Amino acid sequence: MTTTTRPHAPALPSARGPLSHGVIRALHTGHVPDPGLRALAAGAEPYGDDLHLALYVLYELHYRGFAGVADDREWDADLLDVRRALEDRFLAALRRDVPGPRDPAEVLAELLVEPADTSGSVSHHLRRHGDLDTFREYAALRSLYHLKEADPHAWVLPRLDGRAKAAMAAIEYDEFGAGRADQVHARLFADLMADLGLDPSYGRYLDRAPAPMLAVVNVMSLFGLHRALRGALVGHFAWVEVTSSPGSRRLASGLRRAGAGPAAQRFYDEHVEADAVHEQVVRHQVVEGLLAAEPDLAADVAFGADATTFLEDRFAEHLLAAWRSGRSALRC
């Protein structure tokens, strides 16, 4: 088994409490994690900084890893044991706080309706009031997802069949640039960041990201890494594609108003067009195809979409509360 590491992997972040300290220390030293971490996880704040940083770090071992951390720690049994305890705490809170069971068709139909009150919408706020500083903060935080855009969803492909698999693969092909490296959506977001004067290095802003942003990314990895949660991942993916086009149109408009450069605008302009098509494909081919093959996953699909709404709303509340009070949304 290889113990090499990627040459340009990000550095390990700073800890935010005993859980993340224990995980990061185990990775930094190469030692086994403290056996008491499982008990700490069972009583941790399920949406808090400490739990979500620890979980994010453990999930990142399945993506690009960290500088100085051996590749074979990805499947370290002791680390996986800690990860499972963190996941159990997070997932139990989501199942408690997210309504259900619901009809996935009803859930997705609700997402297509523009709410009368848009005061809680980040894209509406940025379109009307965003300046380059707030757009930089937003891009820095969203980079935790967009620099790995579509990667968590790719894990569902071997777990699908027939119509759902073919349609999902078609959408993912577009997300990964349709065969062109310069068109990969993660690359386009890196160009957006550079245009805004940000560092587009993968993982650069992890230390600045608050718990609500970490939870948004962690839920994708949670659903993606567990075959039992494949329905929830499809629901999450549907949420992303259904909401992306109108939100991207508002963000592109806000960037133009704020005076951002063409590369910053291009990322969202691309999503206005591409995701308007993807929204139709994901609802009528991916979701309907999955449920035709596995109708018992309907509640999971709805849960995945509703959990995404819940976590995105928490993130929006964090951003808007900070900006409306004149504070930075980034961690100090």
pLDDT in tens, 298-307: 999 999 999 9
- pTM of the predicted model, to two decimals? 0.96
pLDDT of residue 4: 59
CATH number of the structural domain spanning residue 220: 1.20.910.10
Is 332 part of a structural domain of the chain? no
Residue type, 326: G
Q: Is the pLDDT of residue 1 over 50?
A: no
Domain boundary among 52, 71, 97: 97
Domain boundary among 53, 76, 97: 97
Q: Give the residue among 47, 121, 119, 115 at the shortest CA–CA distance from 316.
A: 121
Tokens of 118: 């848009």
Coil/strand/helix, residue 261:
coil
What is the enclosing helix (H) or strand (E) of 118? none
Judged on CB neighbours under 10 Å (0-12, 13-18, 19+), 301 is buried
Binning pLDDT at 50, 70 and 90, where does residue 276 land? Answer: confident
Tell me, yes or no, whether 195 and 279 share the same domain.
Answer: yes
pLDDT digits (tens, 9 = 90+) for 133-162: 999 999 999 999 999 999 999 999 999 999
Say how far apart CA 325 and CA 314 lie, in whole Å: 17
Tell me, yes or no, whether 127 and 55 share the same domain.
Answer: no
Is 13 part of a structural domain of the chain? no
Mean pLDDT confidence for 263-270: 92
Domain boundary among 56, 71, 97: 97
Tokens of 145: 């997802």
Domain count within the chain: 2
DSSP, res 331: -
Say how far apart CA 175 and CA 271 lie, in whole Å: 10
Contact 307, 237 (CB under 8 A): no
Is 331 part of a structural domain of the chain? no
Tell me, yes or no, whether 308 and 183 share the same domain.
Answer: yes
Residue type, 106: E
Tell me, yes or no, whether 108 and 238 share the same domain.
Answer: yes
| Cβ neighbours of 240 (radius 10 Å) | 22
Domain that holds residue 165: 104-324
Is 329 part of a structural domain of the chain? no
Tell me, yes or no, whether 142 and 265 share the same domain.
Answer: yes
Tell me, yes or no, whether 271 and 297 share the same domain.
Answer: yes
Contact 92, 290 (CB under 8 A): no
pLDDT of residue 146: 97
Say how far apart CA 221 and CA 242 lie, in whole Å: 20
Tokens of 252: 């592109």
Judged on CB neighbours under 10 Å (0-12, 13-18, 19+), 164 is buried
Say how far apart CA 27 and CA 69 lie, in whole Å: 6
Tell me, yes or no, whether 247 and 274 share the same domain.
Answer: yes
Q: Is the pLDDT of residue 275 over 80?
A: no
pLDDT digits (tens, 9 = 90+) for 234-258: 999 999 999 998 999 999 999 999 9
pLDDT above 70 coverage of the chain, percent: 97
